[in-house]
Amino acid sequence: MRAFGYTAPADPATAVRLAAQPGTTYVAGGTDLLNLMRDGAEDHEHLVDINRLDLAAVTADDAGLHVGGLARMRQVAEDRRVRTGFPVLSQALLASASPQVRIMASIGGNLLQRTRCGYFRDPGSACNKRVPGSGCPAVEGQNRMHAVLGGSPHCIATHPSDLAVALLALDAVVRVLGPDGARQIPVGELYREPGDTPHLENTLRPGELITAVDVPGGPLAQRSRYRKLRDRATFEFAVVSVAAAVHLRGGRVRDVRLAFGGIGTRPWRSPEAEDALRGRALTAVAVAEAGRALVRGAQPRQHNAFKVELVQRALTGALHEWGALR
């Protein structure tokens, strides 16, 4: 790693002021950042260590769950209130990374981790994310793990966070603090599709720090599940994943939230699939229609076309929890 400067401020305002400087970024767990800097995928002159900030609490009230940006993955996954009131979050976290990394990695950092696209992580390759305008070898190259939804000719990398998919399904809101003060961003508006600017992955402004994530509670959150399919049983990123929350009443879908990982250039919410289920019984026919609605705009490439079918099966599998197809 190149030489870089280091500051460990004790209050968020100082952290934000420092991080707004060019060439500066935050470090929390460090589990993604250190590899990005080793690989040369990111280059920073100065790190602002935020681990001394008081942002690690997890609280719950009538509105729902409030997770500090510096809460750790394990801490949230094992929290009793999360496991009972927001099972999709706990399941998504426990299906992520390894036990050691879950102990280290922060919630804010998890949401802002970078894609595992091999071309992005290899400075010897062209990559529009890493070097804007240099090209995207994945479009015609090794794209088995890449996105079938939300891509552009300039980038088809997936966002790797399982947690983001789960939070997207629960309509979570990210609270940030920046040089211009605090604001809130729905998780659905946090991530950008690549378009012509794949290097712009999120809607945060320079120096903005994720201080917390608010997750609305209720029947949907309580009845939420995460289903992740990967190339090995554990410690692997998703090929496809499904975060599903279904509220059934009288045998019919009163409300439903469906979000997907591994298939989109950003965590992928599918209002089309939700609409296909809302108000209906969870039959095989209805679920199949929802799956088709999900992939209607899919643009498969040479090696990832199987994801179009796989994600529909994953959706069916996930909805088995609620008795679909019985």
Partner 1 sequence: MSEEEPVPVRRRTVLKVATAAGTAAAAGAAVPVTGAAEGATAPAATVPPTVPAGASVEITLSVNGARRRVAVEPRVTLLDALRDRIGLTGTKKGCDRGECGACTVLADGERIKSCLTLAVMRQGSRITTVEGLARGDDLHPVQAAFIRHDAFQCGGCTPGQIMSAVACIAEGHDGSDDEVREWMSGNLCRCAAYQNIVAAVRDAGREMRG
Interface residues toward partner 1, by CB under 8 A: 1-11, 14, 18, 27, 29-31, 34-35, 38, 45-47, 49, 51, 97-101, 103-104, 233-235
- In single-letter form, the type of residue at position 99 comes to P
Q: What are phi and psi of 203, to 5 degrees?
A: -100, 15
> What residues contact 103, with CB distance under 8 A and at least 6 apart?
72, 73, 74
Nearer of residues 35 and 197 to partner 1, judged by Cβ? 35
Nearer of residues 104 and 126 to partner 1, judged by Cβ? 104
Cα(262)–Cα(147) distance, rounded to whole angstroms? 7
β-pairing, 46-49 vs 5-7, is: parallel
Nearer of residues 13 and 63 to partner 1, judged by Cβ? 13
Nearer of residues 70 and 174 to partner 1, judged by Cβ? 70
Least separation in angstroms between residue 74's CB and partner 1 is 9
Least separation in angstroms between residue 95's CB and partner 1 is 10
Cα(133)–Cα(46) distance, rounded to whole angstroms? 26
Least separation in angstroms between residue 18's CB and partner 1 is 8
Nearest to 195 by CA among 268, 118, 136, 267: 136
Cα(75)–Cα(19) distance, rounded to whole angstroms? 26
Least separation in angstroms between residue 123's CB and partner 1 is 12
Least separation in angstroms between residue 58's CB and partner 1 is 17
Cβ neighbourhood burial of 286 (10 Å; 0-12, 13-18, 19+): buried
Least separation in angstroms between residue 100's CB and partner 1 is 5
Chain mean position to CA 312: 20
Nearer of residues 46 and 278 to partner 1, judged by Cβ? 46
> E strand or H helix at 11, and its extent?
none
Per-position b or e across 192-203, b if 16+ CB within 10 A of its CB: bbbeeebeebbe
Nearer of residues 99 and 153 to partner 1, judged by Cβ? 99
Nearer of residues 103 and 126 to partner 1, judged by Cβ? 103
Check if the beta carbon of residue 15 is closer than 8 Å to that of residue 209. yes
Q: What are phi and psi of 254, to 5 degrees?
A: -75, -45
Tokens of 192: 């950008």
Report the largest interatomic distance among the alpha carbons of the chain, rounded to a whole angstrom.
Answer: 62
Nearer of residues 44 and 154 to partner 1, judged by Cβ? 44
Least separation in angstroms between residue 44's CB and partner 1 is 10
Cα(173)–Cα(152) distance, rounded to whole angstroms? 27
Cα(144)–Cα(146) distance, rounded to whole angstroms? 6
> 230: number of CA atoms within 13 Å, CB side?
17
Nearer of residues 27 and 259 to partner 1, judged by Cβ? 27
Least separation in angstroms between residue 30's CB and partner 1 is 5
Least separation in angstroms between residue 163's CB and partner 1 is 18
